[in-house]
C-alpha cells in the first residue's frame, strides 16, 4: 500500500513555494487481473522490433548518449519538412515543457493556461518562480480561448494550449486556434501541447503539423509516450523557431535523453513498425468513440473525447465512483470534487467500465 508520509522538518533553507507543492501523483497500482487506466498509457507492450532496438542500445550504456539526439532529430525533421535545428528532443514532453517555461519566465512572470488541464503545469510554473494564471474551461470542458487571450498581460511570457485537453479530452478547433493566435502578441511564447495528437479523429480539431512555420512564437510539443507506447523510456520532441528552441536547449539538464530512448523512438518510426503502431492507435480511437457513445447512452455527460481517455464529470461523487471502479479492478484518475479520467486501454476493460458505471449514473 502507498502511504502518504508527513514531511520531515528540516532547518535547511529551502524555497518555501517548493516545499508547499504537492508531489506529482501517479495513481495506485492496479490489482492483479485489473486494469491500470490512470496514466493514459498505451495498453500494448512494445513491438518485438522496438524491444530489440532498445536492448541493443542497452549494450552500450557505458557510453554517454549523443547530447542532441541528432539521429532522431534528423528523422523528425525529414518527416515534418523542417530543418534539423527546428526540432528539439527531450526526456518526455514534460521535460520540454519545463525547459520552455524556464527559458521564458523569470520570477513575477505569468503563464496562462486553461484549468482544469494537465496536472504538471502548475508545478512546472512554480519551479520556474513564475505565476500561474488559470483560465476556467468552458461548460463543454474545452479551452475558453477568448478568455485565455484576454488573460494575457504585460507579465505574460508563456501561454499553454493543451489539445486534446488532458484530462477532459476536448480538442481546440483549428479555426479557434488561429483566431487565438491572431490575438496573442507575437513576443509571447505559445506552447501547443499535443501529447495526444495521434488519437484525434475529429477533422475540425487543430493538429499542429499544418501550423509549422506560420507563427514566430509557436512551439508544438509531441511525445512518444502515448501513441508510440514508449512512456517508460521518456522521449518527446518540440518543433518550432530555432531561437526559441536554442533557449530551451540551454535550460535542459544536459544529457537527459538516453541512447535507449532514442533507439526506441527511431525503431518506432521505422515504416513497418510505425504502420503497426498506428493501427493500434486506430483501434484505440475506435474503442474510445464506442466507449464514449455507450457512456452517453447510459446518461453520462462525457464531453467530446479526442485523446486516449474519457472524462466523467462526477463532481461530489468522484471518490465514490472511483472506489466502485477500483473494487471492480479498474484504477482511474480521480480529481476530487471534479471528475474522473479513464484511459482507453485493453479491450476487456471496456465491458468492466460499462458494467460498473451503468449502475452509478
Ligand atoms: N502533456 C500532456 C497533456 C500529458 O497528458 C502528458 C502525459 N501525461 C505529457 C505532456 C507528458 O508526457 P511525456 O512526458 O511522457 O512525454
pLDDT at 296: 98
Contact assessment for residue 4 and residue 309, using Cβ atoms and an 8 Å cutoff: no
Residue where a domain terminates, one of 270, 300, 322: 270
Question: Are residues 135 and 264 both part of a single domain?
Answer: yes
CATH of residue 141's domain is 3.40.640.10
Q: Is residue 52 part of a domain?
A: yes
- How far is it, in rounded angstroms, from Cα 329 to Cα 313? 20
Q: Is residue 123 part of a domain?
A: yes
Q: Is 309 in the pocket of ligand 1 (CB under 6 A)?
A: no
CATH of residue 288's domain is 3.90.1150.10
Cell readout for 137 is 474551461
Question: Are residues 110 and 41 both part of a single domain?
Answer: no
The whole model's pTM is what? Answer: 0.96
Q: Is residue 6 part of a domain?
A: no
pLDDT at 49: 98
Q: Is residue 1 part of a domain?
A: no
pLDDT at 70: 98
Residue where a domain terminates, one of 254, 270, 286: 270
Ligand 1 pocket test: which of 36, 198, 223, 227 has the largest number of ligand atoms within 8 Å of its C-beta?
223
Question: Are residues 129 and 223 both part of a single domain?
Answer: yes
Residue where a domain terminates, one of 238, 270, 302: 270
Question: Are residues 97 and 183 both part of a single domain?
Answer: yes
pLDDT tens column, 274-327: 999 999 999 999 999 999 999 999 999 999 999 999 999 999 999 999 999 999
Ligand 1 pocket test: which of 25, 39, 94 has the largest number of ligand atoms within 8 Å of its C-beta?
94
Question: Are residues 120 and 103 both part of a single domain?
Answer: yes
- How far is it, in rounded angstroms, from Cα 353 to Cα 361? 12
Q: Is 114 in the pocket of ligand 1 (CB under 6 A)?
A: no
Contacts 24+ apart (CB under 8 A), 321-330: 321/357, 321/360, 324/356, 324/360, 325/353, 325/356, 325/357, 326/28, 326/31, 328/352, 328/355, 328/356, 329/30, 329/31, 329/33, 329/34, 329/35, 330/30, 330/34, 330/35, 330/37, 330/356
pLDDT at 219: 98
Q: Is 223 in the pocket of ligand 1 (CB under 6 A)?
A: yes
Ligand 1 pocket test: which of 88, 89, 98, 118 has the largest number of ligand atoms within 8 Å of its C-beta?
118
Q: Which atom of ligand 1 is nearest to the CA of 236?
A: 16
- The backbone torsions φ and ψ at residue 78, rounded to the nearest 5 degrees and listed phi first, read -60, -50
Q: Is residue 88 part of a domain?
A: yes
pLDDT at 29: 86
First-residue to last-residue Cα distance in the chain: 29
Contact assessment for residue 188 and residue 219, using Cβ atoms and an 8 Å cutoff: no
Q: Domain range holding 116?
A: 48-270
Question: Are residues 152 and 66 both part of a single domain?
Answer: yes
Question: Are residues 255 and 341 both part of a single domain?
Answer: no
Question: Are residues 217 and 353 both part of a single domain?
Answer: no
pLDDT tens column, 40-57: 999 999 999 999 999 999
Q: Please state the separation of Cα 186 from the chain's center in Å.
A: 25
pLDDT at 26: 74
Question: Are residues 174 and 109 both part of a single domain?
Answer: yes
Residue 251 DSSP class: T
Low-confidence ranges of the chain (pLDDT < 70): 1-7
DSSP for 70-83 reads: HHHHHHHHHHHT--
Q: Is 194 in the pocket of ligand 1 (CB under 6 A)?
A: no
Instruction: Give the chain's domain count.
Output: 2
Question: Are residues 57 and 157 both part of a single domain?
Answer: yes
pLDDT at 2: 52
pLDDT at 259: 98
Amino acid at each position: 500500500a502507498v502511504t502518504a508520509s508527513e514531511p520531515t522538518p528540516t532547518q535547511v533553507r529551502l524555497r518555501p513555494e517548493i516545499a508547499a507543492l504537492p508531489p506529482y501523483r501517479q495513481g495506485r497500482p492496479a490489482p492483479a487481473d485489473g486494469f491500470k487506466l490512470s496514466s493514459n498509457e498505451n495498453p500494448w507492450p512494445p513491438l518485438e522490433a522496438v524491444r530489440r532496438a532498445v536492448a541493443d542500445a542497452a549494450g552500450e550504456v557505458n557510453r554517454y548518449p549523443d547530447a542532441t539526439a541528432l539521429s532522431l532529430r534528423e528523422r523528425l525533421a525529414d518527416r515534418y519538412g523542417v530543418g534539423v535545428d527546428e526540432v528539439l528532443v527531450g526526456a518526455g514532453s514534460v521535460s520540454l515543457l519545463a525547459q520552455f517555461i524556464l527559458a521564458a519566465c523569470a520570477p513575477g512572470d505569468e503563464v496562462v493556461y486553461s484549468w482544469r488541464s494537465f496536472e504538471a503545469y502548475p508545478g512546472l510554473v512554480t519551479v520556474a518562480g513564475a505565476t500561474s494564471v488559470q483560465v476556467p474551461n468552458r461548460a463543454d470542458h474545452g479551452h475558453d480561448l477568448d478568455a485565455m487571450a484576454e488573460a494575457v498581460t504585460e507579465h505574460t511570457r508563456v501561454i499553454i494550449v493543451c489539445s486534446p485537453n488532458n484530462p477532459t479530452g476536448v480538442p481546440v478547433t483549428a479555426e479557434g486556434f488561429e483566431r487565438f493566435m491572431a490575438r496573442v502578441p507575437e513576443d509571447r511564447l505559445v506552447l501547443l501541447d499535443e501529447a495526444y495528437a495521434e488519437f484525434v479523429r475529429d477533422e475540425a480539431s487543430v493538429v499542429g503539423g499544418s501550423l509549422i512555420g506560420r507563427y514566430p512564437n509557436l512551439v508544438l510539443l509531441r511525445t512518444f509516450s502515448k501513441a508510440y507506447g514508449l512512456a517508460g523510456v521518456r522521449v518527446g520532441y518540440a518543433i518550432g523557431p530555432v531561437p526559441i528552441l536554442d533557449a530551451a536547449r540551454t535550460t535542459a539538464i544536459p544529457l537527459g535523453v538516453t541512447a535507449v530512448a532514442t533507439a526506441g523512438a527511431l525503431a518506432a518510426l521505422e515504416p513497418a513498425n510505425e504502420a503497426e503502431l498506428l493501427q493500434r492507435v486506430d483501434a484505440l480511437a475506435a474503442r474510445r468513440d464506442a466507449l464514449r457513445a455507450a457512456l452517453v447512452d447510459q446518461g453520462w455527460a462525457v464531453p467530446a473525447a479526442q485523446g486516449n481517455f474519457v472524462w466523467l464529470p462526477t463532481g461530489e461523487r468522484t471518490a465514490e465512483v472511483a472506489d466502485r471502479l477500483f473494487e471492480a479492478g479498474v484504477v482511474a484518475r480521480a480529481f476530487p470534487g471534479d471528475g474522473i479520467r479513464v484511459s482507453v486501454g485493453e479491450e476487456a476493460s471496456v465491458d468492466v467500465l460499462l458494467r460498473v458505471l451503468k449502475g452509478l449514473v
